[in-house]
Structure 1
Protein backbone atom coordinates (compact mmCIF):
# COMPACT_ATOMS: atom_id res chain seq x y z
CA UNK A 1 0.00 0.00 0.00
CA UNK A 2 1.24 3.44 -0.88
CA UNK A 3 0.71 6.80 0.78
CA UNK A 4 2.25 10.20 0.16
CA UNK A 5 3.62 13.03 2.35
CA UNK A 6 1.05 15.38 3.82
CA UNK A 7 2.81 18.73 3.46
CA UNK A 8 2.33 20.87 0.38
CA UNK A 9 5.31 22.60 -1.22
CA UNK A 10 5.20 26.32 -1.96
CA UNK A 11 7.16 28.36 -4.51
CA UNK A 12 7.35 32.13 -4.99
CA UNK A 13 7.16 33.16 -8.65
CA UNK A 14 7.30 36.96 -8.33
CA UNK A 15 9.68 38.73 -5.94
CA UNK A 16 7.88 42.08 -6.05
CA UNK A 17 4.32 40.95 -5.41
CA UNK A 18 5.09 37.72 -3.53
CA UNK A 19 2.80 35.77 -5.86
CA UNK A 20 3.31 32.06 -5.52
CA UNK A 21 1.75 28.64 -5.74
CA UNK A 22 1.44 25.58 -3.56
CA UNK A 23 1.21 22.00 -4.76
CA UNK A 24 0.42 18.73 -3.01
CA UNK A 25 0.18 15.14 -4.24
CA UNK A 26 -1.82 12.51 -2.40
CA UNK A 27 -3.24 9.03 -2.65
CA UNK A 28 -4.14 6.29 -0.19
CA UNK A 29 -4.04 3.04 -2.13
CA UNK A 30 -5.61 1.14 0.77
CA UNK A 31 -8.77 3.23 0.45
CA UNK A 32 -8.71 2.75 -3.32
CA UNK A 33 -8.44 -1.01 -2.92
CA UNK A 34 -11.52 -0.97 -0.70
CA UNK A 35 -13.50 1.31 -3.05
CA UNK A 36 -11.78 2.83 -6.11
CA UNK A 37 -14.58 5.35 -6.73
CA UNK A 38 -14.51 6.73 -3.18
CA UNK A 39 -10.74 6.28 -2.97
CA UNK A 40 -10.22 8.62 -5.93
CA UNK A 41 -12.47 11.23 -4.32
CA UNK A 42 -10.55 10.85 -1.06
CA UNK A 43 -7.21 11.32 -2.85
CA UNK A 44 -8.43 14.55 -4.43
CA UNK A 45 -9.95 15.79 -1.16
CA UNK A 46 -6.70 15.23 0.74
CA UNK A 47 -4.53 16.99 -1.85
CA UNK A 48 -7.09 19.82 -2.01
CA UNK A 49 -7.01 20.12 1.80
CA UNK A 50 -3.20 20.02 1.93
CA UNK A 51 -3.06 23.00 -0.41
CA UNK A 52 -5.77 24.82 1.52
CA UNK A 53 -3.92 24.56 4.86
CA UNK A 54 -1.07 26.65 3.39
CA UNK A 55 -3.43 29.57 2.79
CA UNK A 56 -3.43 29.05 -0.99
CA UNK A 57 -6.60 28.68 -3.06
CA UNK A 58 -6.87 25.23 -4.74
CA UNK A 59 -7.13 25.93 -8.47
CA UNK A 60 -6.19 23.00 -10.72
CA UNK A 61 -5.62 19.23 -10.72
CA UNK A 62 -3.17 16.85 -12.36
CA UNK A 63 -2.93 13.10 -11.89
CA UNK A 64 -0.91 9.94 -12.38
CA UNK A 65 -3.23 6.92 -12.42
CA UNK A 66 -1.39 3.68 -11.64
CA UNK A 67 -2.94 0.22 -12.09
CA UNK A 68 -2.23 -3.36 -12.99
CA UNK A 69 -3.04 -4.93 -16.33
CA UNK A 70 -6.16 -3.54 -18.07
CA UNK A 71 -6.58 -7.00 -19.60
CA UNK A 72 -7.71 -8.08 -16.12
CA UNK A 73 -11.47 -7.24 -15.88
CA UNK A 74 -11.17 -6.43 -12.19
CA UNK A 75 -8.35 -3.95 -12.83
CA UNK A 76 -10.26 -2.36 -15.69
CA UNK A 77 -13.28 -1.97 -13.40
CA UNK A 78 -11.04 -0.30 -10.79
CA UNK A 79 -9.72 2.09 -13.43
CA UNK A 80 -13.21 2.96 -14.66
CA UNK A 81 -14.46 3.59 -11.13
CA UNK A 82 -11.42 5.74 -10.33
CA UNK A 83 -11.91 7.95 -13.39
CA UNK A 84 -15.60 8.39 -12.53
CA UNK A 85 -14.79 9.25 -8.92
CA UNK A 86 -12.12 11.76 -9.84
CA UNK A 87 -14.34 13.36 -12.49
CA UNK A 88 -17.31 13.69 -10.16
CA UNK A 89 -15.16 15.11 -7.36
CA UNK A 90 -13.50 17.69 -9.63
CA UNK A 91 -16.91 18.87 -10.81
CA UNK A 92 -18.17 19.25 -7.25
CA UNK A 93 -15.06 21.09 -6.05
CA UNK A 94 -14.88 23.22 -9.19
CA UNK A 95 -11.25 22.38 -10.03
CA UNK A 96 -10.31 21.33 -13.58
CA UNK A 97 -7.91 18.55 -14.55
CA UNK A 98 -5.20 20.26 -16.59
CA UNK A 99 -3.17 17.15 -17.45
CA UNK A 100 -2.00 13.78 -16.27
CA UNK A 101 -1.13 10.28 -17.34
CA UNK A 102 -2.06 6.63 -16.89
CA UNK A 103 0.35 3.81 -16.07
CA UNK A 104 -0.85 0.22 -16.59
CA UNK A 105 0.75 -3.21 -16.14
CA UNK A 106 2.11 -2.42 -12.68
CA UNK A 107 2.15 -5.89 -11.17
CA UNK A 108 4.28 -8.83 -10.17
CA UNK A 109 3.28 -11.90 -12.15
CA UNK A 110 -0.50 -11.96 -12.02
CA UNK A 111 -0.71 -9.86 -8.84
CA UNK A 112 -1.58 -6.20 -9.59
CA UNK A 113 -0.70 -3.31 -7.34
CA UNK A 114 -3.49 -1.69 -5.37
CA UNK A 115 -5.16 0.98 -7.53
CA UNK A 116 -3.05 4.09 -6.95
CA UNK A 117 -4.47 7.25 -8.52
CA UNK A 118 -1.99 9.91 -7.40
CA UNK A 119 -3.71 13.29 -7.48
CA UNK A 120 -1.86 16.58 -7.52
CA UNK A 121 -3.58 19.87 -6.67
CA UNK A 122 -2.10 23.29 -7.39
CA UNK A 123 -3.20 26.38 -5.49
CA UNK A 124 -2.49 30.09 -5.94
CA UNK A 125 -1.43 32.41 -3.13
CA UNK A 126 -1.17 36.14 -3.77
CA UNK A 127 1.67 36.64 -1.27
CA UNK A 128 3.83 33.82 0.07
CA UNK A 129 4.66 36.00 3.10
CA UNK A 130 1.29 35.04 4.60
CA UNK A 131 1.69 31.30 4.04
CA UNK A 132 0.65 29.16 6.99
CA UNK A 133 3.34 26.78 8.32
CA UNK A 134 2.48 23.17 9.11
CA UNK A 135 3.83 23.18 12.66
CA UNK A 136 3.58 25.51 15.64
CA UNK A 137 6.54 27.64 16.66
CA UNK A 138 5.45 29.40 19.86
CA UNK A 139 4.30 28.20 23.27
CA UNK A 140 1.05 29.34 24.86
CA UNK A 141 -1.14 29.19 21.77
CA UNK A 142 -4.46 27.39 21.60
CA UNK A 143 -4.79 24.23 19.54
CA UNK A 144 -8.08 23.74 17.70
CA UNK A 145 -9.52 20.83 15.78
CA UNK A 146 -11.70 21.78 12.82
CA UNK A 147 -14.21 19.14 11.74
CA UNK A 148 -15.87 16.08 13.28
CA UNK A 149 -14.34 12.71 14.18
CA UNK A 150 -16.30 9.57 13.30
CA UNK A 151 -15.53 5.89 13.90
CA UNK A 152 -13.75 5.47 10.58
CA UNK A 153 -10.84 3.07 11.05
CA UNK A 154 -11.30 0.77 8.03
CA UNK A 155 -8.32 1.06 5.71
CA UNK A 156 -6.52 3.24 8.25
CA UNK A 157 -2.88 3.13 9.27
CA UNK A 158 -4.07 1.92 12.69
CA UNK A 159 -5.92 -1.04 11.17
CA UNK A 160 -2.99 -1.96 8.95
CA UNK A 161 -0.14 -1.44 11.42
CA UNK A 162 -1.73 -2.75 14.61
CA UNK A 163 -4.02 -5.43 13.22
CA UNK A 164 -2.66 -6.21 9.74
CA UNK A 165 -6.20 -5.81 8.44
CA UNK A 166 -7.62 -4.33 5.25
CA UNK A 167 -11.39 -4.44 4.94
CA UNK A 168 -14.62 -2.52 5.37
CA UNK A 169 -15.44 0.83 3.82
CA UNK A 170 -13.12 3.86 3.55
CA UNK A 171 -14.05 7.12 5.30
CA UNK A 172 -16.92 9.13 3.86
CA UNK A 173 -15.91 12.37 2.17
CA UNK A 174 -18.14 15.44 2.11
CA UNK A 175 -16.74 17.55 -0.72
CA UNK A 176 -19.04 20.48 0.02
CA UNK A 177 -17.61 20.55 3.55
CA UNK A 178 -14.07 20.32 2.16
CA UNK A 179 -14.77 23.40 0.06
CA UNK A 180 -16.16 25.31 3.06
CA UNK A 181 -13.09 24.30 5.07
CA UNK A 182 -10.75 25.58 2.35
CA UNK A 183 -12.63 28.88 2.20
CA UNK A 184 -12.44 29.19 5.98
CA UNK A 185 -8.68 28.56 6.00
CA UNK A 186 -8.17 31.12 3.24
CA UNK A 187 -10.13 33.72 5.22
CA UNK A 188 -8.13 32.92 8.35
CA UNK A 189 -4.92 33.36 6.35
CA UNK A 190 -6.02 36.73 4.99
CA UNK A 191 -6.74 37.91 8.54
CA UNK A 192 -3.57 36.29 9.98
CA UNK A 193 -5.63 34.46 12.60
CA UNK A 194 -3.81 31.10 12.61
CA UNK A 195 -0.11 30.50 13.19
CA UNK A 196 -0.06 26.93 11.85
CA UNK A 197 -2.36 24.46 10.11
CA UNK A 198 -2.01 20.76 9.38
CA UNK A 199 -4.62 18.45 7.89
CA UNK A 200 -5.67 15.26 9.67
CA UNK A 201 -5.38 12.24 7.38
CA UNK A 202 -3.11 9.18 7.43
CA UNK A 203 -2.45 8.11 11.01
CA UNK A 204 -5.22 10.34 12.32
CA UNK A 205 -4.99 13.06 14.95
CA UNK A 206 -2.06 11.31 16.68
CA UNK A 207 0.12 11.57 13.57
CA UNK A 208 -0.86 15.20 12.97
CA UNK A 209 0.03 16.20 16.54
CA UNK A 210 3.32 14.28 16.40
CA UNK A 211 4.31 16.07 13.20
CA UNK A 212 3.29 19.41 14.68
CA UNK A 213 5.59 18.85 17.66
CA UNK A 214 8.50 17.62 15.54
CA UNK A 215 8.32 20.48 13.02
CA UNK A 216 9.88 23.14 15.28
CA UNK A 217 10.44 21.21 18.51
CA UNK A 218 7.65 22.92 20.47
CA UNK A 219 5.57 20.63 22.66
CA UNK A 220 1.81 20.34 23.11
CA UNK A 221 -0.64 19.37 25.84
CA UNK A 222 -3.82 17.89 24.39
CA UNK A 223 -7.02 16.53 25.88
CA UNK A 224 -9.43 14.17 24.11
CA UNK A 225 -12.39 14.34 26.49
CA UNK A 226 -14.37 16.92 24.52
CA UNK A 227 -13.84 15.10 21.21
CA UNK A 228 -14.98 11.86 22.82
CA UNK A 229 -18.04 13.50 24.38
CA UNK A 230 -19.17 15.56 21.38
CA UNK A 231 -18.48 13.00 18.66
CA UNK A 232 -19.30 9.84 20.64
CA UNK A 233 -15.94 8.09 20.09
CA UNK A 234 -13.40 6.43 22.36
CA UNK A 235 -9.83 7.58 22.89
CA UNK A 236 -8.33 5.23 20.28
CA UNK A 237 -10.79 6.45 17.65
CA UNK A 238 -10.19 10.08 18.59
CA UNK A 239 -6.47 9.53 18.02
CA UNK A 240 -6.43 7.26 14.97
CA UNK A 241 -9.64 7.75 13.00
CA UNK A 242 -8.99 9.04 9.48
CA UNK A 243 -12.24 10.95 9.09
CA UNK A 244 -12.01 13.64 6.41
CA UNK A 245 -12.60 17.40 6.56
CA UNK A 246 -10.40 17.87 9.63
CA UNK A 247 -7.52 20.24 10.28
CA UNK A 248 -5.50 21.08 13.40
CA UNK A 249 -4.69 24.79 13.74
CA UNK A 250 -2.93 26.87 16.35
CA UNK A 251 -4.24 30.32 17.23
CA UNK A 252 -2.47 33.06 19.21
CA UNK A 253 -4.53 33.92 22.27
CA UNK A 254 -5.08 37.51 21.15
CA UNK A 255 -6.81 36.19 18.00
CA UNK A 256 -8.87 33.54 19.75
CA UNK A 257 -12.21 35.38 19.76
CA UNK A 258 -11.90 36.42 16.11
CA UNK A 259 -11.02 32.89 15.04
CA UNK A 260 -13.93 31.35 16.92
CA UNK A 261 -16.21 33.96 15.43
CA UNK A 262 -14.95 33.14 11.93
CA UNK A 263 -15.70 29.44 12.43
CA UNK A 264 -19.11 30.08 13.99
CA UNK A 265 -20.03 32.54 11.26
CA UNK A 266 -19.23 29.97 8.59
CA UNK A 267 -20.90 27.14 10.47
CA UNK A 268 -17.84 24.89 10.58
CA UNK A 269 -17.35 22.61 13.62
CA UNK A 270 -14.46 23.71 15.83
CA UNK A 271 -13.18 22.59 19.22
CA UNK A 272 -10.28 23.67 21.42
CA UNK A 273 -8.28 20.54 22.21
CA UNK A 274 -5.06 21.79 23.77
CA UNK A 275 -2.24 24.31 24.04
CA UNK A 276 1.27 24.51 22.68
CA UNK A 277 3.71 24.03 25.49
CA UNK A 278 7.25 25.16 26.28
CA UNK A 279 9.26 22.75 28.45
CA UNK A 280 10.16 23.66 31.99
CA UNK A 281 13.71 23.79 33.30
CA UNK A 282 15.47 20.55 32.44
CA UNK A 283 12.45 19.18 30.55
CA UNK A 284 12.41 18.27 26.89
CA UNK A 285 9.59 19.32 24.54
CA UNK A 286 6.94 16.62 24.48
CA UNK A 287 3.54 15.64 23.17
CA UNK A 288 1.26 14.99 26.15
CA UNK A 289 -2.13 13.41 25.53
CA UNK A 290 -3.79 13.94 28.89
CA UNK A 291 -4.48 10.67 30.77
CA UNK A 292 -3.22 8.61 27.80
CA UNK A 293 0.52 9.05 27.16
CA UNK A 294 3.44 11.45 27.00
CA UNK A 295 6.26 11.12 24.47
CA UNK A 296 9.19 13.47 24.01
CA UNK A 297 9.88 15.30 20.77
CA UNK A 298 13.28 13.61 20.69
CA UNK A 299 11.75 10.13 20.76
CA UNK A 300 9.17 11.10 18.15
CA UNK A 301 11.90 12.37 15.83
CA UNK A 302 14.07 9.29 16.36
CA UNK A 303 11.20 6.94 15.57
CA UNK A 304 10.22 8.98 12.53
CA UNK A 305 13.75 9.10 11.10
CA UNK A 306 14.72 5.50 11.92
CA UNK A 307 12.11 3.76 9.74
CA UNK A 308 14.09 3.35 6.52
CA UNK A 309 17.52 2.85 8.14
CA UNK A 310 16.02 0.15 10.37
CA UNK A 311 14.57 -1.61 7.32
CA UNK A 312 18.09 -1.79 5.86
CA UNK A 313 19.80 -2.71 9.12
CA UNK A 314 21.39 0.73 9.57
CA UNK A 315 21.31 3.16 12.46
CA UNK A 316 20.37 6.84 12.61
CA UNK A 317 23.16 9.25 13.48
CA UNK A 318 22.51 11.47 16.46
CA UNK A 319 21.88 15.13 15.52
CA UNK A 320 24.92 17.36 15.95
Structure 2
Protein backbone atom coordinates (compact mmCIF):
# COMPACT_ATOMS: atom_id res chain seq x y z
CA UNK A 1 0.00 0.00 0.00
CA UNK A 2 2.84 2.37 0.83
CA UNK A 3 4.55 1.73 -2.50
CA UNK A 4 1.28 2.27 -4.37
CA UNK A 5 0.62 5.55 -2.54
CA UNK A 6 4.13 6.73 -3.36
CA UNK A 7 3.82 5.85 -7.05
CA UNK A 8 0.53 7.73 -7.35
CA UNK A 9 1.73 10.83 -5.49
CA UNK A 10 5.10 11.07 -7.22
CA UNK A 11 4.04 9.86 -10.66
CA UNK A 12 6.87 7.34 -10.58
CA UNK A 13 6.55 3.78 -11.94
CA UNK A 14 7.98 0.74 -10.16
CA UNK A 15 9.61 -1.37 -12.85
CA UNK A 16 10.57 -4.35 -10.72
CA UNK A 17 11.96 -5.50 -7.43
CA UNK A 18 12.45 -8.30 -4.97
CA UNK A 19 11.51 -8.85 -1.33
CA UNK A 20 13.47 -11.20 0.90
CA UNK A 21 11.67 -11.61 4.22
CA UNK A 22 12.55 -15.07 5.47
CA UNK A 23 15.97 -15.94 4.03
CA UNK A 24 18.63 -17.13 6.44
CA UNK A 25 21.91 -19.01 6.57
CA UNK A 26 21.66 -21.89 9.02
CA UNK A 27 20.24 -20.40 12.20
CA UNK A 28 21.31 -16.85 11.31
CA UNK A 29 18.47 -14.68 10.02
CA UNK A 30 18.91 -11.67 7.76
CA UNK A 31 17.03 -8.40 8.02
CA UNK A 32 13.91 -8.16 5.82
CA UNK A 33 15.18 -6.72 2.54
CA UNK A 34 12.79 -5.15 0.05
CA UNK A 35 14.49 -3.90 -3.13
CA UNK A 36 12.45 -1.60 -5.38
CA UNK A 37 13.47 -0.52 -8.88
CA UNK A 38 12.08 2.73 -10.24
CA UNK A 39 12.53 4.46 -13.58
CA UNK A 40 13.36 8.08 -14.30
CA UNK A 41 14.40 9.97 -17.42
CA UNK A 42 17.12 12.62 -17.67
CA UNK A 43 16.69 14.59 -20.89
CA UNK A 44 20.40 15.45 -21.12
CA UNK A 45 22.80 13.39 -19.02
CA UNK A 46 25.62 15.87 -19.63
CA UNK A 47 23.67 18.34 -17.48
CA UNK A 48 22.94 15.97 -14.61
CA UNK A 49 23.60 17.22 -11.09
CA UNK A 50 26.38 15.25 -9.33
CA UNK A 51 26.79 14.66 -5.61
CA UNK A 52 30.42 15.91 -5.56
CA UNK A 53 31.30 19.24 -3.93
CA UNK A 54 33.77 20.43 -6.58
CA UNK A 55 33.87 24.20 -6.15
CA UNK A 56 35.38 25.84 -3.06
CA UNK A 57 33.43 28.77 -1.70
CA UNK A 58 30.01 27.47 -2.69
CA UNK A 59 27.31 27.63 -0.03
CA UNK A 60 25.73 24.55 1.50
CA UNK A 61 22.00 24.48 2.11
CA UNK A 62 19.81 21.91 3.84
CA UNK A 63 16.38 21.41 2.28
CA UNK A 64 13.50 20.09 4.40
CA UNK A 65 12.73 19.69 8.10
CA UNK A 66 14.91 17.84 10.61
CA UNK A 67 13.32 16.09 13.59
CA UNK A 68 14.57 13.76 16.33
CA UNK A 69 14.07 10.59 14.28
CA UNK A 70 16.54 7.81 15.05
CA UNK A 71 14.45 4.61 14.98
CA UNK A 72 16.10 2.10 12.64
CA UNK A 73 18.89 4.60 11.97
CA UNK A 74 22.52 3.92 11.15
CA UNK A 75 23.50 5.55 14.47
CA UNK A 76 21.16 3.26 16.41
CA UNK A 77 22.38 0.17 14.58
CA UNK A 78 26.11 0.92 14.73
CA UNK A 79 26.36 2.45 18.21
CA UNK A 80 23.68 0.49 20.04
CA UNK A 81 23.19 -2.62 17.88
CA UNK A 82 19.48 -1.82 17.84
CA UNK A 83 17.26 -1.47 14.77
CA UNK A 84 13.82 -1.23 16.37
CA UNK A 85 11.60 1.76 17.00
CA UNK A 86 9.47 3.87 14.70
CA UNK A 87 10.96 4.82 11.32
CA UNK A 88 10.97 8.46 10.18
CA UNK A 89 7.59 9.81 9.09
CA UNK A 90 7.03 10.10 5.35
CA UNK A 91 5.24 13.06 3.79
CA UNK A 92 4.70 12.14 0.14
CA UNK A 93 3.65 15.66 -0.85
CA UNK A 94 6.85 17.04 0.67
CA UNK A 95 8.83 14.40 -1.23
CA UNK A 96 7.16 15.50 -4.47
CA UNK A 97 7.91 19.16 -3.74
CA UNK A 98 11.55 18.39 -2.92
CA UNK A 99 11.93 16.57 -6.23
CA UNK A 100 10.40 19.47 -8.15
CA UNK A 101 12.67 21.99 -6.44
CA UNK A 102 15.79 19.94 -7.18
CA UNK A 103 14.82 19.52 -10.83
CA UNK A 104 14.06 23.22 -11.28
CA UNK A 105 17.25 24.31 -9.50
CA UNK A 106 19.38 21.94 -11.55
CA UNK A 107 17.77 22.94 -14.85
CA UNK A 108 18.21 26.66 -14.13
CA UNK A 109 21.82 26.43 -12.91
CA UNK A 110 21.07 27.32 -9.29
CA UNK A 111 22.82 24.28 -7.75
CA UNK A 112 26.05 22.51 -8.68
CA UNK A 113 25.66 19.42 -6.46
CA UNK A 114 22.91 17.65 -4.54
CA UNK A 115 22.76 14.62 -2.24
CA UNK A 116 19.73 12.97 -0.64
CA UNK A 117 19.75 12.42 3.13
CA UNK A 118 19.10 8.82 4.13
CA UNK A 119 21.26 6.27 5.98
CA UNK A 120 23.53 8.09 8.40
CA UNK A 121 21.83 11.45 8.04
CA UNK A 122 23.38 14.79 7.06
CA UNK A 123 26.95 14.09 8.10
CA UNK A 124 27.11 10.90 6.03
CA UNK A 125 25.85 12.71 2.93
CA UNK A 126 28.28 15.61 3.41
CA UNK A 127 31.24 13.24 3.84
CA UNK A 128 30.31 11.34 0.67
CA UNK A 129 30.01 14.57 -1.33
CA UNK A 130 33.31 15.90 0.06
CA UNK A 131 35.20 12.71 -0.73
CA UNK A 132 33.75 12.56 -4.24
CA UNK A 133 34.68 16.17 -4.99
CA UNK A 134 37.98 16.33 -3.10
CA UNK A 135 36.96 19.39 -1.08
CA UNK A 136 36.11 19.76 2.59
CA UNK A 137 33.20 21.56 4.22
CA UNK A 138 32.72 23.84 7.22
CA UNK A 139 29.32 23.39 8.85
CA UNK A 140 27.41 25.38 11.48
CA UNK A 141 24.61 23.87 13.55
CA UNK A 142 21.41 25.83 12.79
CA UNK A 143 19.52 27.61 15.55
CA UNK A 144 16.85 25.40 17.10
CA UNK A 145 18.72 22.13 16.51
CA UNK A 146 21.23 20.33 18.71
CA UNK A 147 24.35 19.11 16.96
CA UNK A 148 23.50 15.42 17.36
CA UNK A 149 20.07 15.71 15.74
CA UNK A 150 21.46 17.98 13.02
CA UNK A 151 24.18 15.49 12.09
CA UNK A 152 22.57 12.06 12.55
CA UNK A 153 18.79 12.34 12.26
CA UNK A 154 17.38 10.36 9.34
CA UNK A 155 14.26 12.48 8.77
CA UNK A 156 12.87 11.93 5.27
CA UNK A 157 12.19 14.46 2.53
CA UNK A 158 15.58 16.21 2.80
CA UNK A 159 18.62 16.96 0.67
CA UNK A 160 21.85 18.94 0.93
CA UNK A 161 22.88 21.11 -2.02
CA UNK A 162 25.81 23.33 -2.98
CA UNK A 163 24.82 26.73 -4.35
CA UNK A 164 27.06 29.21 -6.19
CA UNK A 165 27.13 32.50 -4.30
CA UNK A 166 25.75 34.30 -7.35
CA UNK A 167 22.64 32.09 -7.22
CA UNK A 168 21.97 32.21 -3.46
CA UNK A 169 19.18 34.77 -3.50
CA UNK A 170 17.44 33.28 -6.51
CA UNK A 171 17.58 29.79 -5.02
CA UNK A 172 16.34 30.73 -1.55
CA UNK A 173 13.57 32.89 -3.04
CA UNK A 174 12.38 29.94 -5.12
CA UNK A 175 12.31 27.62 -2.11
CA UNK A 176 10.48 30.21 -0.02
CA UNK A 177 7.91 30.91 -2.72
CA UNK A 178 7.12 27.20 -3.04
CA UNK A 179 7.03 26.52 0.70
CA UNK A 180 10.11 24.31 1.10
CA UNK A 181 12.17 24.96 4.26
CA UNK A 182 15.75 25.91 3.36
CA UNK A 183 18.60 26.51 5.83
CA UNK A 184 22.15 27.67 5.14
CA UNK A 185 24.45 25.27 6.98
CA UNK A 186 27.95 25.98 5.74
CA UNK A 187 30.42 26.37 2.92
CA UNK A 188 32.60 24.15 0.73
CA UNK A 189 36.14 24.84 1.92
CA UNK A 190 39.40 23.28 3.05
CA UNK A 191 40.53 19.68 3.35
CA UNK A 192 38.40 18.55 6.30
CA UNK A 193 34.78 18.16 7.37
CA UNK A 194 34.46 20.57 10.28
CA UNK A 195 31.42 21.22 12.46
CA UNK A 196 31.92 24.50 14.31
CA UNK A 197 32.42 23.95 18.02
CA UNK A 198 32.18 20.14 17.68
CA UNK A 199 34.93 18.40 15.67
CA UNK A 200 37.01 18.36 12.49
CA UNK A 201 38.06 15.28 10.52
CA UNK A 202 40.46 15.51 7.59
CA UNK A 203 39.49 14.07 4.23
CA UNK A 204 42.45 11.69 4.51
CA UNK A 205 41.05 10.27 7.77
CA UNK A 206 37.59 9.96 6.30
CA UNK A 207 38.83 8.39 3.08
CA UNK A 208 40.78 5.79 5.05
CA UNK A 209 37.71 4.83 7.06
CA UNK A 210 35.57 4.81 3.91
CA UNK A 211 37.82 2.61 1.78
CA UNK A 212 39.76 0.36 4.17
CA UNK A 213 37.12 -0.97 6.57
CA UNK A 214 35.77 -3.82 4.43
CA UNK A 215 39.20 -4.99 3.15
CA UNK A 216 40.40 -5.07 6.76
CA UNK A 217 37.49 -7.30 7.76
CA UNK A 218 38.44 -9.82 5.08
CA UNK A 219 42.14 -9.73 5.84
- Of 88, 91, 107, which residue of structure 2 is paired with 1:174? 91
Deviation string, structure 1 residues 39-67 (Cα, Å, up to 9, x no partner): xxxxxxxxxxxxxxxxxxxxxxxxxxxxx
The aligned length equals: 219
Counterpart contact for 1:137–1:216, Cα < 8 Å: yes
Q: TM-score, normalised by structure 1?
A: 0.65
1:237 aligns with 2:154: no
Report the Cα distance in structure 1 between the residues aligned to 2:146 and 2:135, rounded to whole angstroms: 27
2:207 aligned partner: 301
- Of 140, 154, 159, which residue of structure 2 is paired with 1:223? 140
Counterpart contact for 2:137–2:192, Cα < 8 Å: yes
Report the Cα distance in structure 2 between the residues aligned to 1:203 and 1:257, rounded to whole angstroms: 30
- Of 54, 67, 71, which residue of structure 2 is paired with 1:137? 54
1:153 aligned partner: 70
Report the Cα distance in structure 1 between the residues aligned to 2:148 and 2:23, rounded to whole angstroms: 35
By how many angstroms is 1:104 displaced? Answer: 6.6
Change (3 A) 1:291 1:104: closer
Report the Cα distance in structure 2 between the residues aligned to 1:307 and 1:291, rounded to whole angstroms: 28
Change (3 A) 1:104 1:157: closer
Report the Cα distance in structure 2 between the residues aligned to 1:219 and 1:190, rounded to whole angstroms: 25
- Report SS of the residue matched to 2:85: coil
Q: Report 1:198-277 matches (<5 A).
A: 198-226=115-143, 229=144, 233-277=145-189
Report the Cα distance in structure 2 between the residues aligned to 1:103 and 1:234, rounded to whole angstroms: 37
Report the Cα distance in structure 1 between the residues aligned to 2:146 and 2:32, rounded to whole angstroms: 31
Q: 5+ residue gaps in structure 2?
A: none
Counterpart contact for 1:130–1:192, Cα < 8 Å: no
Q: 5+ residue gaps in structure 1?
A: 1-83, 280-284, 314-320
Report the Cα distance in structure 2 between the residues aligned to 1:95 and 1:127, rounded to whole angstroms: 19
Query: Whose RCO is larger (CA < 8 A, sep 6+)?
Result: 2
Report the Cα distance in structure 1 between the residues aligned to 2:208 and 2:180, rounded to whole angstroms: 36
Counterpart contact for 2:62–2:185, Cα < 8 Å: yes
Choose 1 or 2 for highest CA Rg: 1
Q: TM-score, normalised by structure 2?
A: 0.94
Change (3 A) 1:101 1:294: closer
Q: CA RMSD in A?
A: 1.6
